[in-house]
Amino acid sequence: MDATPTTINRLCDHVGKSVTLSGWVYKTRSSGKVAFIVLRDGTGLCQCVLEKNEQTESFFGDVKKLAQESAIVITGEARAEERAVGGHELQATAVDIVDAAHDYPITPKPHGTEFLMERRHLWFRSQRQWHILRIRATVVDAIRRFFNDNKYVLIDTPIFAPAAGEGAQTLFEVDYFGDPVYLAQTGQLYVEAACMAHGKVYCFGPTFRAEKSKTRRHLTEFWMVEPEIAFASLTDVIDVAEEFICSIVQRVLKDHREELIELGRNIEELEAIKKPFFRLTYSEVADILHGPKAKELLENDLKVKTARIEELDGKIEELDAVAKSNVKQWQKDKAAAEVIEAREERSELQEQVTNIPHHMDLAANFEWGSDLGGSDETIISRLHDRPVFVSHYPRDVKAFYMRQDRDDARLVENFDLLAPQGFGEIIGGSAREEELDRLVARMEEEHLPQSDYEWYLDLRRYGSVPHGGFGLGVERTIAWLCGLKHIRETIPFPRMMGKFYP
Q: Is residue 155 within the footprint of ligand 4AD (CB under 6 A)?
A: no
Cβ burial, residue 36 (10 Å; 0-12/13-18/19+): middle
Q: How far is the CB of 93 from ligand 4AD (least distance, A)?
A: 50
Supply φ then ψ for residue 26, to 5 degrees: -90, -40
Binding to ligand 4AD (CB under 6 A) within 223-282 occurs at 224, 226
Among 475, 478, 479, 491, binds ligand 4AD (CB under 6 A): 475
Residues paired with 229 in a beta bridge: 200, 468
Q: Is residue 420 within the footprint of ligand 4AD (CB under 6 A)?
A: no
Among 56, 157, 186, 378, binds ligand 4AD (CB under 6 A): 186
Q: Is residue 427 within the footprint of ligand 4AD (CB under 6 A)?
A: yes
Amino acid at 439: L
- Do 457 and 436 meet the contact criterion of CB atoms below 8 Å apart? yes
Q: How far is the CB of 186 from ligand 4AD (least distance, A)?
A: 4
Q: Is the peptide bond before 158 cis (omega within 30 degrees of 0)?
A: no
Q: Is residue 222 within the footprint of ligand 4AD (CB under 6 A)?
A: yes
Q: Is residue 209 within the footprint of ligand 4AD (CB under 6 A)?
A: yes
Of the candidates 132, 221, 130, 117, the residue with the CA atom closest to the CA atom of residue 478: 132
Q: Is residue 466 within the footprint of ligand 4AD (CB under 6 A)?
A: no
Site stretch for ligand 4AD (CB under 6 A), options 13-21, 93-101, 220-228, 329-337: 220-228
Q: Are strands 278-281 and 388-391 parallel, antiparallel or unpaired?
A: parallel
Q: Is residue 188 within the footprint of ligand 4AD (CB under 6 A)?
A: yes
Q: How far is the CB of 158 from ligand 4AD (least distance, A)?
A: 14
Please enumerate in sequence order all residues whose Cβ is within 8 A of that of 448, keeping only pairs 6 or more positions apart, or say none. 163, 164, 400
Site stretch for ligand 4AD (CB under 6 A), options 120-128, 218-226, 273-281, 440-448: 218-226
Q: Is residue 489 within the footprint of ligand 4AD (CB under 6 A)?
A: no
Site stretch for ligand 4AD (CB under 6 A), options 258-266, 362-370, 403-411, 466-474: 466-474
d(C-alpha 80, C-alpha 489), whole Å: 33
Among 387, 420, 473, 494, binds ligand 4AD (CB under 6 A): 473
What is the DSSP annotation of 331-388?
HHHHHHHHHHHHHHHHHHHHHHHHHHHHHHHHHHTPPBTBPPPHHHHHHHHHT-SS-E
Q: Name the residue nearer to ligand 4AD (CB basis): 420 or 473.
A: 473
Maximal C-alpha separation, the chain: 88
Binding to ligand 4AD (CB under 6 A) within 164-183 occurs at 166
Among 147, 204, 423, 470, binds ligand 4AD (CB under 6 A): 470
Q: Name the residue nearer to ligand 4AD (CB basis): 238 or 288.
A: 238
> What number of CA atoms fall less than 13 Å from residue 364's CA on the CB side?
12
For 19, 107, 254, 324, the CA distances from 335, given in Å and listed in that order, are: 41, 14, 38, 9
Q: How far is the CB of 421 from ligand 4AD (least distance, A)?
A: 16
Summarize as ranges the residues that interact with ligand 4AD (CB under 6 A): 166, 186, 188, 209, 211, 218-219, 222, 224, 226, 425-430, 469-471, 473, 475-476
